[in-house]
Amino acid sequence: MAQIGCLGDIVFTVSSEQIETFNNMQWSGSARYSTHKRHNSNALTEFTGIDPDTMSFEMNLSIHLGVEPMTELVKIWTYERAGQSLPLIVGEKAYGKYRWCIEKHKIKMETYDAKGNLSGATVSVDLVEYLKA
């Protein structure tokens, strides 16, 4: 089994028995500026700081790929609702300056088994960077 990374205890793995990985990862950052309007003159722009970085990605969760979708979704809900900061590691690299919090998620429920249990879903996760005080 090849562990390719993790977000907290959500482990991204690829093996002959299980595939749980991410797609469409995007990392964004931005700076803050204020514009000071002046009477009868040009406005002045002032750099006021850096916003926290954001990261987003999708995960395909399927029982057919060896992943229990509801188990992984409960982890995401728990982390998000507790405001827990998590390390994000891909390969041997830890991303960000410290940790990440799950800001929001969106679940596309796609398939169900014969008993109505969720068997496949795509979840989009949005993270916001969490820095030490």
Reported residue count of the chain is: 133
Q: What is the DSSP letter of 30?
A: -
CB 20 within 8 A of CB 61: yes
Strand order in the sheet with 88-90: 19-20, 10-14, 2-7, 88-90, 93-94
pLDDT for res 2? 87
- pLDDT at position 24 is 96
Which residues does 96 contact at the CB level (< 8 Å), separation at least 6? Answer: 53, 55, 88, 129
Residue 86: pLDDT over 70:
yes
What pLDDT score does 83 carry? 96
Answer yes or no: are the C-beta atoms of 27 and 68 closer than 8 Å: no
Phi-psi region of 116 (alpha: psi -120 to 50; beta: other; left: phi over 0): left
What would the pLDDT profile of 99-118 be if each residue is shown by its tens digit? Answer: 999 999 999 999 999 999 99
Confidence label for 132 from pLDDT (cuts 50, 70 and 90)? confident
Domain map (residue ranges) of the chain? 2-130
H or E, element range at 74: helix 69-82
Question: Rounded CA gap, 132 and 91, in Å?
Answer: 23
Q: Could you confirm whether domain 2-130 is CATH 2.30.30.60? A: no
Distance of CA 113 to the CA centre of its chain: 27
Q: What is the mean pLDDT of residues 19-44?
A: 94
Average pLDDT for residues 12-30, to the nearest whole number?
93
